Amino acid sequence: MQTLACCLGYKAEYKQKLGGRTDGCATFYKQKKFNCCNCIPIELLVDGCPVLDRPNVALLMLLEPLSDHQTDGRSSACICVVNTHLLFNPGRGDVKLAQLMFLFAAIDEFASITAEPGPKYHPIIFCGDLNLEPLSSLYDFIVSGSLHFEGLPIRAMSGQKHGDFGRRLYPQYFLLPQVDVTDFCQFFDVMEHRRKASKSRHKWRSSEESFSSGTVHHSLNLVSAYADSRPEAVTAWFGDHSRGARIDYIFYSADHHNSQFAGDRLGQGFLTLSHILQLPTEEEVCESGGLPNDKESSDHLMVMASFLLTI
């Protein structure tokens, strides 16, 4: 596949799943359109942490659009493209929350363009198989930027299982300070580095204010490219249950409507959603024989979005 992609003018970066597994995350970009400024593979695993002990990975890339209107061929904006595949297990919402927090902390460090308590970021496209469904607690966390998780039933957090019973999540047994990921989805060491480098008079959070509160936040301002699509649309099919699910996503950082903030962002660029590839409904997939079938070779369907980048 990579040989064919190269012939078509694409270049790829790949991060293999841990443990010698054959799958992983790959991101392709057209070399005539983008220059790769930086690429970092992320392993969502921390030694000694029970909720970060799985082999899942992610790939972070900073792509610079190549412009025909500038003498050096480069634009003034970059895009942070994130690709991941979170834990499959439908009943382990605690692991998926920990993986999201760790990944958001990595994005915060990778995509930031200021050294302030609440940094500004390059435009972000965050996509992958997240193994969580819309209307779930974890989906709400991604799009709202906040989740009070204390006491939530772990099995129901991803929306793939239902029932208000079973083990619940409590901060004192979740991500301990030694993991370094704060309740604001930032690495505390990174925040300390920013504090020392910044001349800001804003109050910086202490270690005591940063961990084990029972509520998590992030500042990436993400919205789903498929937020307005048909609610019954599906991206994957579980053949053993003969049902569809929406577990694959493209999120992107939306431009704030606040004109003052938007003015600050113009130098770094912002994304506007242009088009999406419409998805079939569960009924339509069922009528075609489920997935895979004679037209679709996978149990997942492709999600696709086009964006306009204002620079």
Query: Any idea which architecture 2-274 has in CATH?
Result: 4-Layer Sandwich (3.60)
Each residue of 136-173: pLDDT tens digit?
Answer: 999 999 999 999 999 999 999 999 988 888 999 999 98
Give me the amino acid identity at 223.
V
Each residue of 249-272: pLDDT tens digit?
Answer: 999 998 654 333 333 433 356 899
305 phi, psi to nearest 5 deg? -140, 145
Side-chain-side CA neighbours of 22 within 13 Å: the count stands at 0
State what percent of residues in the chain have pLDDT above 90: 68
Map out the domains of the chain as residue ranges. Answer: 2-274
Tokens representing 64 are 């610079």
104 phi, psi to nearest 5 deg? -65, -35
**Count helices and strands in the chain by DSSP H and E runs:** 6, 14
Each residue of 27-82: pLDDT tens digit?
Answer: 999 999 999 999 999 999 999 999 999 999 999 999 999 976 554 545 568 999 99
